[in-house]
Structure 1
Amino acid sequence: MERPYYIENLIQDTIDKERSKFQGTSEEFEKAFNKKIPELIKTITGGLAETIFEYCVGEENDLKKRELEIADKIESKYKTGLTLFEGFIELNSKISSITYDKFYKIFDTYEDHQKLDTLISNHVRACQIANEIKVLVSNGFADGAFARWRTLHEICVVFLYLYDSSYEIIEMYNDYAVIEEYRKAKSYNECSDFFEWEPISEKELNQLSLDKEEVISKYGKDFQKSYGWTMKSLPNGKRNFKELENLVAKDNLRAVYTWSNESIHAGVSGINTKLSLRDEEQNNFLTGPNDCGFLDPIQYATDSLYEMSSVLLGMEDSILNKVLVELLVFFQNEIVKEFDRIENE
């Protein structure tokens, strides 16, 4: 028989103490217990709450022991790879700053500044997500890291599309925020009663509706649909992320993108298969970290960041930018080789 958990033992000990105080048979205790379950549960819980809380947040509970064990393994095995990845993210972040500072001074039209702001905003967000991936990998959560790459890939695809787009499409992309704000406001009010939130006022909602109608009159009724800001490039019925991938030649990652969805959605694949478990561990239950499965999120994250940064560096044909591109390639290759080496040991 499997050894009971510490918490299970504590609860059982408390129940046994209550039984020892009871004047009567075990059967009579069961009946009395069933009749007074709320009262007895409250008594038992009150007595155990502090002890269980101390256990749950202490260093001796099962989860904490495993976390410390996995943290030591990751520090030992992946230190070089994680240091390289951290350096790669820093380099990409600097490319954002260098590009923005340089071209903000050069550009002198509203359209150029709006496009630059839009591209850099997406690139900066990509760097932040890469940092989130680093934190998840450092702490043993490969599936979570792969799920964050999914978002990074989406940003990369949108970035590539916007880079080659006209000023009009850049403006449409930014104006689409009005459609999203209206949808969020409607959803908020639909939930406000349940959560006892103060609803958005009729006046505010009417203003959002007017703003929405204004951009619809500017671009047409199809603008309010999903991915309406791509209407100049994608035909009606094909305005979705998959078609956007095809448009920027990133459809080669469609299968990988689909796999990453398993870490997000509630499908059976996400239950049965985990990056965080080795082949021989796939039947295990995992509620915390593990020290494997990092290669995929790392290699695809570095690829997405490299793709975006190399595009920014291509805005100017200079020796500095050529050196930066080569540095990106060097870092990416070394990172992937290091994680691949460890995963295959």
Structure 2
Amino acid sequence: MTNQHEKLKKEINKLHQSYRILKSTGDDKRFLDLSRGYKSDRNRIHKEILHKYSDLFAVIQGIRKLSVLGVQNVDLLVYKNEDDFQNCIKRYNAINSLMIKYIDIFDEIICLIENGFPDGAMQRWRTLLEYSIIIIFILEQGEEVADEYSKNLLMSIVSELHHRKNFAWAKVANCFKGEKQITITKLLDNLNGIDIDTKKGFLAMYKLTSQSIHGSSFGVNLSFNDHISIDIN
């Protein structure tokens, strides 16, 4: 499986490099052709990940790289691996449902971009970033946090989906002892494997995307269509 995984990583990196070269040279026609051809590559790699790479952390790494290719924004990397699966069973259970949704949202983003709806794609990117932050936070913080995250489903129902309960599970982490309220930005700030500049970049885009969904004058007049001019239908 290791050799197959390395082969897949090389293919993904090669495709990623092609995108970057074409974007930097401004060759819109070739970039358009590559964007159209990417759909078949995406489906093939997607299938290989689902059927050949059952290891949880290899799957997370593979899908993370596909997300970079698809939306050119998500660049969160999980460095930590596990030697004994029994030591991370609660994290596996917590992340399992997240990864299923992660794959679905990635496909939605590609579909929206391919059909000319960058505003919708960026809203799904916002969700993808939240999932990425939560996944990495759970992996870094350990089994107690993962267990609390899984229990949060019942707490959310009992509290009638009160927004203050969304990240209450993270309070058991050592970095949040004594905190009254946790937000997604606080989770991002406390990720160990992400440098400060990268965090600032993600936070700026996250805030911009969050503002665009509201009915304020700013939100109504902001459109990511103004920044994405290539029609890849």
TM-score computed with the length of structure 1 as normaliser: 0.42
In the alignment, which residue of structure 1 is the partner of 2:96? 120
Task: Summarize the alignment of residues 298-337 of structure 1 with structure 2, pairs less than 5 Å apart.
Answer: none
Structure with more contact order per residue of length (Cα contacts < 8 Å, sep ≥ 6): 1
Unaligned runs of 5+ in 2: 1-27, 59-82
Q: What is the aligned length?
A: 170
Distance 1:246 1:231, change over 3 A: same
Counterpart amino acid of 1:243? K
Partners in 2 of 1:120 and 1:179 — Cα distance? Answer: 19
Contact 2:212/2:222 (<8 A) preserved: no
Bigger radius of gyration: 1
Can you give the 5+ residue segments of structure 1 that lack an aligned partner in the other structure?
1-73, 188-223, 279-290, 295-338, 340-345
2:153 match: 177
Matches within 5 A, 1:1-345: 78-84=32-38, 87-88=41-42, 91=45, 94-95=48-49, 98-100=53-55, 109=86, 112-184=88-160, 225-233=165-173, 234=176, 235-248=178-191, 249=194, 251-252=199-200, 253-277=202-226, 292=229
Distance 1:256 1:178 in 2: 31
Contact 2:90 2:146 in 1 (8 A): yes
Change (3 A) 1:92 1:267: farther
Query: Is the CA contact (8 Å cut-off) linking 1:144 and 1:263 kept in structure 2?
Result: no
1:167 and 1:231 mapped to 2: Cα distance? 13
CA distances 1:269-319 after superposition (whole Å, capped 9, x unpaired): 2222211136xxxxxxxxxxxx7278xxxxxxxxxxxxxxxxxxxxxxxxx
Note the C-alpha offset of 1:153. Answer: 0.2
Q: Deviations over 1:146-181 (max 9, x none)?
A: 111000000000000011122111110001111112
Q: TM-score, normalised by structure 2?
A: 0.60
RMSD across aligned positions (CA): 3.5
Structure 1 residues 92 and 115, CA gap change in structure 2 (3 angstroms): farther
Contact in 1 for aligned 2:214/2:220 (Cα 8 Å) = no
In structure 1, distance between residues paired with 2:157 and 2:43:
31
Q: Distance in 2 between matches of 1:139 and 1:242?
A: 31
Identity among equivalent pairs (%)? 18
Q: Does the aligned pair in 1 maintain the 2:91–2:142 contact within 8 Å?
A: no
Maintained 8 Å contact 1:262/1:270: yes
Q: Is the 8 A contact 1:162 1:169 kept in 2?
A: yes
